[in-house]
Each structure stands twice: as structure tokens, then as C-alpha cells.
Chain A
């Protein structure tokens, strides 16, 4: 969803003369004012998916975006048509390529911090604007807006996000079901913790997060089957990791876990496989994500 910048739309009229010309010029000036910030066309590369998608929503297309890693990106449509740079550990984008493209600003993620020093030495400004939890989205959007010169649009976007979220969290009442979110990779289950993006979304959606008391600054922890059984979640959400996993296969794999058979979630069949990265990757779509979680998993929508 893009917002086109307003353009002055006037033609000098021979009949009205100076007044209309003056009015037109004044109008043009007023309408062009928001442009002033972005008048100097910045070269921006957005490695961070959040920054890329936010930028586009603010009406500025980045030069390049980072390749999608991890699960299917639900907001990828926004970035169609923009060339992609490959990312590899530990620096992220290829530094020589960055030197050649010579952007003014790179929006990156903490994950690629190993390469920040080199980018800065190449004279490129590096900004990390990713929110670490949903409440921080507004600040991040403002930050992106400020840098690309669309502060006004950023304010509008924030307002829209807020109202969407408000609508999505309407009428959350009654008992809050216990929800376990797991990352569907490999043999042992990695649970989403309270400080992970998905964990926070589920909390906002009216669920009680099952973590077994585990804490980890990274936001994920392996919890044992015994803890799962003891906590007895009412709902289980499975987030597959990887873009071409057969969702059905993932679901079957989870269902085959003998140890979890005794949980309420298994007994009532409340197991939902989230097909994209909406619970993994920060985005501006808080409202729609909460709605989906409520509808598909918590079932309080």
C-alpha cells in the first residue's frame, strides 16, 4: 500500500494574472513543503525486512532489499520489483558490492553487526531500526520516517497501525487460554519466550504464553517434553522455519510427538501451523497478525 506524494497541480492562467499565479505558487510551496526533507534524493539500501517494508509504505523505494531468510515473508509483495542482495554470515551483504553501490544509508539488523564497521569505514551510514517488541513498532516507524524524510507519512502510518491494533484487540475477555508456540525445526522443540516477537503477539491476542519459566535473551529456549506436559497448553502454534517446507509434513511431525498427546491442545485438536513469518519477523501489520492469531488459534475472534 503506497502513498504517492502530492504534486502541485496548477497552470498559470492568462486571465487571473498575478493573483492566481501567486496563489498557485503559494499552494505549490505549501504542498511541496513535506517534500523538502526528501528533496535530496537519498540512496537507501534496506537489508532489514522491517525497514524495507516500512520505507515502501512511506512511499520511498529502497535501492536494494535483503534476501528473505527464514520463513515465507508475508509482506514480500510490498517489495516486488526491487532488486535483492544476497546475505551471508557474518557480514550480511557483500561488502564490495556495497562499496560499489555506495548508498547513503543502510538499514540493517543486529544480526549483521559484524559488517557494520566496514560499512562505516566505506562512508556508509548504518542504522538499525528494527523493533524488538510490538510496542516498539511506533518508534521504529518514526525512525525510518525521519531518515527517509517522510516524518509526516510516518505519523500517519503509526496512527493507522494503532487503530488497526485497537480493532484487532477488541473484546478480549474471558479466560485466556494457555498457548505454546514452537519453532518447527529439527527434533527438539524450541519454544517462543515472552521476549520474542511471536510471544508478545500472542499475549496481545489474549493468550497466556507457556514457557515453563525458561528465560533467554535470544527469545527462544528448548523446553523439555515434561514441562510441556506439566503446563498442559490449550493451544499450540507451530511456526515452520524455512521457505519450502511442506506445512502438512510439519503438522504431522508435531502430531506424532507421543509425549504431548496428553495436552488439552492435542485432545481438542487446537494446533495451528502458521504459514509465514508473521510471528518471527517484526512488521507493521500488528493488527492483521493479531486477528489471524485470534481467529486461527486462540479462537476468541
Chain B
């Protein structure tokens, strides 16, 4: 899996609308002399984008794995806790209402993504009967529907600006430099750290709430924290790359099928690697296949991921 990631990263840096020989790519990275244009393309455009792809892919892979463990449900993905719906609304708010303040887009997506997750947690975890998986999932569906409707309402009020927003909605990376990452990297950091600490507790949760309690864990707290980690990672990912929830759903399953195990000590880190590799690879393809036209990476992910997933399913059964 690590090898796949390395290959994908190299491809991402090497390929693009403009042909740059591989030797020049390495030279640029090592700080040696290269033609000005190549240097600019690699440093300003491709490098940040590649790093974004790695971080977002890893974040979504981990988010999906954590959620599926926390909710003990193979259908769990960042959609389910409302994050994607909220982030979509936050982004469209800026694109449609304040198109001049494009810099605010990641912030708005992040804020509304977290807000949506907070609403789901409030309903799903608080009070009597809180922490119940069905309740959390239902709350997530309701909140997602709410934001979805709000987004649709916005879009119908400003239909001429909608095309700009479609790119975000279907999920795509753009080569706009380090700005977005600089703004949201703390959220990625917090999310990854939380997730790392949740790996063992999630394993305990696998054995059942009672056994987990016997081992000194609090099932409700584990669910909440793991879901929180997932929410933060997914919101940050959405603010950078739009709505790519498919990754969060499929990658952990892919890893489980490939690895033959449900152990979170294996599934979570490897999901990170796989997510990063898949997104980087898919993005490179999306950028180059119809060059110079840049396709959004979301549909590509689905095109790449689904056949792979179906093939693995058949093998497993």
C-alpha cells in the first residue's frame, strides 16, 4: 500500500497539462536549477495539490474507518453524521451569496460541517437513550436532509452562479497553492491525533459494550470521541476538496476485504495510506485525461473505486 502511495505521489508531481520531464521534477524537489516555468508549475501548482490530495485522502479514509467502528455499521460514512451536507451548504453560501470572498470558502465549509456534526451529536448522544446507534444515524440523516434542502434552495435562488459551485459539490481539488491547507491544517492535526488515540478503544468496542466496559472503557464516550475525530477530519477534508464522502465509505471496506481483518490497529492506518494513494492517483488522472480541461476528481474516484470494490466483494464471497 505504501508503494502504491509513493507511485501515486510521483505521478501527481510528474504529470499535468504541461509536460515536464521526470528529471526536472526531481531536480526541482532537490532545489537544483531548473527552467523557471517548470519550477513554478511544480512548486506553486503541483506540490501543494499533491500534498492536499494525500492529506485529504488519508483524512477521509481514517474518518470512514473510525465512524464504521464507532457506529458498528458498514454503511457509516461522513455523510451519515451530516458533515458533508453542512460543508456543502457552507461552501455554496459563499459561492452564491458572496462570490467575491472566495477565500472564505474553506472556512465556511469547515464551520458549517462542524455545526452539522454538532447538531447530530447533540440529538444522538445527549440525554436518555443517547449513544444509541440507530438514533445517531437517524439524526444524521435528518440533519443532512436539512442542509441539503437549504443548499438546493440557495441554488435555485442564484442559478446563474451555480456552475461555479458544482465543482465543489462533486468534489475536486484545485491547484491554488498552500492557502487553504495553511488555514485548516490544525483541524487535520487534531483529527488525526484523536483518531490515533481511538484505535485501541474502537477495538475494544468491537467485542461488545460490556466487554469494553470490563476493559475499563466507556462505550458512549468512545463512540462520541471517535465520531468527533471523524467529523473534524471530514469537515476539514470537505473544506479543501469538496464533497468526497464516497472515499470515507469505501476505503475502509476495501482495506478490510484486502486485509481480511476488522482490527482497527490495521484498518485505520492502512485506510489512511489507501485513501491518500487513491485520491492522489485519481486526481492525477482527472487532471490529465482531458487536458487542458481539468475534470473534478469526485466522479473519477467513483469510477475507479467501484469496480475495484465490486471485484473484491466477489472474491470475498
Asked if A and B form a direct contact in the complex, defined as CB atoms under 8 angstroms apart, the reply is yes
The answer to whether A114 and B292 touch across the interface, beta carbons within 8 angstroms, is no
The answer to whether A111 and B158 touch across the interface, beta carbons within 8 angstroms, is no
Kindly state whether residue A85 has any CB partner on chain B within 8 Å.
Answer: yes
Q: How far is the CB of B285 from chain A (nearest CB, A)?
A: 15
Chain A residues 7-42 with CB under 8 Å of chain B are: none
Inside 8 A of B179's CB, which chain A residues have their CB?
Answer: 117
Known: A91-B174, A117-B176, A122-B44. 20 other contacts (CB 8 A): A88-B294, A89-B166, A94-B291, A96-B41, A96-B45, A99-B37, A99-B44, A99-B45, A100-B18, A111-B164, A114-B102, A116-B102, A117-B179, A118-B177, A121-B44, A121-B177, A216-B158, A220-B159, A220-B160, A222-B156
Kindly state whether residue B175 has any CB partner on chain A within 8 Å.
Answer: yes
The answer to whether B164 and A89 touch across the interface, beta carbons within 8 angstroms, is yes
The CA of A285 and the CA of B235, in the complex, are separated in Å by: 47
Kindly state whether residue B161 has any CB partner on chain A within 8 Å.
Answer: yes
Against A, the Cβ 8 Å flags (1 = close, 0 = not) of B139-169 are 0000000000000000011111101101110
The answer to whether B292 and A118 touch across the interface, beta carbons within 8 angstroms, is no
Instruction: Give the contact-size bracket for chain A.
Output: 20 to 34
Closest to B296 in A: A89
Inside 8 A of B45's CB, which chain A residues have their CB?
Answer: 95-96, 99, 118, 122
The CA of A122 and the CA of B37, in the complex, are separated in Å by: 9
Cβ-defined partner of B40 (8 Å) among A91, A93, A122: A122
Q: How far is the CB of B12 from chain A (nearest CB, A)?
A: 13
Provide 28 A-B residue pairs closer than 8 Å at the C-beta atoms, listed in order of the A residue: A86-B293, A88-B293, A89-B166, A90-B167, A91-B174, A91-B175, A91-B294, A94-B291, A95-B45, A96-B17, A97-B292, A99-B37, A99-B40, A100-B18, A100-B41, A102-B40, A114-B164, A114-B174, A114-B176, A118-B45, A118-B177, A122-B40, A123-B40, A218-B161, A220-B160, A221-B157, A222-B156, A222-B159
Against A, the Cβ 8 Å flags (1 = close, 0 = not) of B77-106 are 000000000000000000001011011000
By secondary structure, the B interface counts as helix
Against B, the Cβ 8 Å flags (1 = close, 0 = not) of A131-151 are 000000000000000000000
Binding site for B on A (CB under 8 A): 85-86, 88-91, 93-97, 99-100, 102, 110-111, 113-118, 121-123, 190, 216-222
The CA of A226 and the CA of B17, in the complex, are separated in Å by: 50
Inside 8 A of A114's CB, which chain B residues have their CB?
Answer: 102, 164, 174, 176
The CA of A220 and the CA of B168, in the complex, are separated in Å by: 22
The CA of A111 and the CA of B100, in the complex, are separated in Å by: 9
Instruction: Give the contact-size bracket for chain B.
Output: 35 or more
Minimum-distance CB pairs A-B, first 8:
A94-B292, A96-B17, A96-B18, A99-B41, A118-B176, A94-B17, A89-B167, A100-B18
By secondary structure, the A interface counts as mixed
Kindly state whether residue B16 has any CB partner on chain A within 8 Å.
Answer: yes
The CA of A117 and the CA of B100, in the complex, are separated in Å by: 12
Closest to A185 in B: B159
Closest to A124 in B: B40
Closest to A120 in B: B177
The CA of A121 and the CA of B179, in the complex, are separated in Å by: 11
The CA of A218 and the CA of B46, in the complex, are separated in Å by: 33
Inside 8 A of B97's CB, which chain A residues have their CB?
Answer: 217
The CA of A111 and the CA of B162, in the complex, are separated in Å by: 11
Determine which residue in A100, A102, A111, A221 has the highest number of CB atoms from chain B within 10 A of its CB, and name it.
A100
The CA of A216 and the CA of B167, in the complex, are separated in Å by: 23
Determine which residue in A86, A121, A219 has the highest number of CB atoms from chain B within 10 A of its CB, and name it.
A121
The CA of A72 and the CA of B156, in the complex, are separated in Å by: 25
Q: How far is the CB of A94 from chain B (nearest CB, A)?
A: 4
Inside 8 A of B37's CB, which chain A residues have their CB?
Answer: 99-100, 102
The answer to whether B164 and A90 touch across the interface, beta carbons within 8 angstroms, is yes
Against A, the Cβ 8 Å flags (1 = close, 0 = not) of B270-293 are 000000000000000000000111
The CA of A122 and the CA of B177, in the complex, are separated in Å by: 10
